């Protein structure tokens, strides 16, 4: 807190009820910023030992500069970008390091083979090399061995401090403390981890079947490899929000592992299948490359999970395009997990409209050919900007 005190309210307006009053110096966790010019932030804080959620004006907060810098520098708008700082570190190790073991481990991580990467790195770990320990931690994390990942990263940081890694490790440590999902089931393509106290075994088995089926369907359409099982973590809604620190509108994330919340009913219905399919698309695309633009990531995730653009949404996009209030596709670059629900909806609709247009205009070329030739994307994106009136 920057000022002598600050009011956390139920909403952003000055006349919204006050949830709690924070003293100067109170630590708050920023959930997301509302992109409406209001300088309003969703925050979480501890007040008298209890967690309080609400909204506060940015003028009362200290440390916003780093938050805004990270928001501006976010590579794209999908939740997959949670790993961006660590991905950048991984690439720097691969580019700068001359050790062939590090090179090979980094290549395996890029190909979504974390267990194989960890096997390659194990002979180096006894030498306490900070790069090897960093990559081992990333491989362990992607393999859902969170405690091992934190141990490797702590060793790496002790040998060579790194702000980006320290920040990510701290986030993972908080996540691990809040995560209660310990039961596992193994499918053909997916490992499912879930909360045994919240989910019946037959529901978990049904979920695993959906995950395997959807991965088979989507990988067939996109042509993504699956050399190792992908980890999927399914939690209750409250546990998902607490362990991921996601925005309230978020239904899933992909950070190297699929993360989704199960509806309170506990049933595996159409919405659950769609949520799983959405994150599987992210996982599948990342198995091909981790450099796809936001509009393609989120547009394909919606398209292949069964979403359609409503007539009202399409009309709203046309009006916004005519008023020149929509960004070009390549400029949808802020982290959507920090957007307000209204702006996130616009971004999702625009991404879906772009993929719909791409599927129509490049039907003869095919999506697998596009993904196999990413050098074509800049020209396709420019063409779609014109088609959508951006």
Q: Which CATH class is domain 5-73?
A: mainly beta
- How is the chain split into domains, by residue range? 5-73, 79-178, 183-288, 294-388
Torsion (CA) 246, 252, 253, 258 in degrees, nearest 10: 140
Instruction: Indicate whether 182 pLDDT > 70.
Output: yes
Domain 79-178: give its CATH code: 1.25.40.10
- The distance of Cα 232 from the centroid of its chain, to the nearest Å, equals 13
139 against 228, higher pLDDT: 139
Instruction: Tell me the whole-structure pTM to 2 decimals.
Output: 0.66
Q: Token digits for 107? A: 């290549």
Q: How far is CA 363 from CA 47, 311, 359, in A?
A: 56, 22, 5
Q: Which residues does 241 contact at the CB level (< 8 Å), separation at least 6?
A: 248, 250, 261
What pairing do the DSSP bridges indicate for beta strands 190-194 and 50-57?
unpaired
Instruction: Give mean pLDDT, residues 273-283.
Output: 87
Model pLDDT, residue 384: 95
183-288 is a CATH 3.40.30.160 domain: yes
- List C-alpha distances in Å: 191 to 116, 117, 136, 232, 306: 16, 18, 20, 6, 23
Q: Which two tokens stand for residue 310?
A: 């409503």
Percentage of the chain exceeding pLDDT 90: 23
Query: Buried (b) or exposed (e) across 362-380, using 16+ Cβ within 10 A?
Result: beeeebeebbeeeeebeeb
Q: What is the mean pLDDT of residues 344-352?
A: 86
pLDDT confidence tier of residue 355, bands split at 50, 70 and 90:
very high
Q: How are beta strands 183-186 and 50-57 bridged, if at all?
A: unpaired
For 29-78, write each residue's pLDDT tens digit: 776 665 445 677 778 788 877 778 788 888 888 766 655 554 444 333 33
């Amino acid at each position: 807190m920057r000022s002598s005190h600050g009011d956390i309210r139920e909403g952003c307006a000055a006349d919204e009820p006050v949830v709690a009053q924070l003293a100067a110096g109170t630590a708050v966790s920023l959930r997301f910023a509302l992109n409406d010019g209001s300088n309003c932030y969703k925050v979480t804080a501890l007040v008298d030992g209890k967690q309080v959620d609400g909204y506060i004006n940015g003028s009362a907060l200290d440390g916003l500069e780093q938050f805004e810098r990270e928001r501006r520098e976010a590579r794209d708008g999908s939740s997959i970008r949670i790993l961006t700082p660590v991905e950048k570190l991984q690439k720097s190790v691969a580019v700068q390091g001359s050790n062939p073991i590090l090179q090979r481990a980094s290549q395996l991580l890029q190909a979504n083979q974390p267990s194989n990467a960890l096997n390659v790195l194990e002979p180096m770990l006894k030498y306490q090399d900070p790069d090897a320990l960093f990559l081992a931690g990333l491989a362990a994390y992607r393999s859902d061995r969170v405690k091992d990942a934190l141990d490797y990263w702590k060793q790496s940081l002790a040998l060579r401090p790194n702000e980006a890694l320290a920040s990510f490790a701290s986030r993972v440590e908080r996540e691990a403390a809040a995560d209660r999902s310990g039961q596992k089931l193994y499918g053909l393509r997916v490992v499912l981890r879930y909360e045994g106290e919240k989910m019946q075994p037959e529901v978990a088995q049904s979920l695993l079947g959906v995950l395997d089926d959807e991965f088979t369907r989507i990988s067939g359409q996109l042509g993504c490899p699956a050399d190792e099982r992908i980890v999927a973590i399914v939690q209750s809604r409250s546990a998902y929000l607490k362990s991921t620190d996601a925005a309230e509108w978020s239904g899933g994330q992909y950070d190297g592992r699929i993360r989704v919340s199960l509806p309170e009913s506990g049933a595996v219905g159409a919405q659950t299948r769609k949520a799983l399919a959405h994150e599987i698309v992210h996982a599948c695309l990342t198995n091909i490359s981790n450099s796809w633009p936001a509009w393609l990531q989120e547009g394909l995730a919606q398209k292949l999970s069964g979403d359609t653009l409503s007539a009202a949404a399409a009309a709203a996009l046309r009006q916004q395009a005519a008023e020149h209030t929509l960004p070009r596709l390549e400029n949808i670059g802020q982290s959507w997990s920090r957007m307000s629900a209204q702006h996130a909806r616009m971004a999702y609709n625009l991404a879906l409209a772009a993929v719909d247009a791409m599927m129509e205009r490049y039907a003869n070329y095919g999506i697998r050919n596009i993904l196999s030739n990413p050098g074509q994307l800049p020209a396709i994106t420019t063409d779609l900007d014109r088609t959508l009136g951006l």
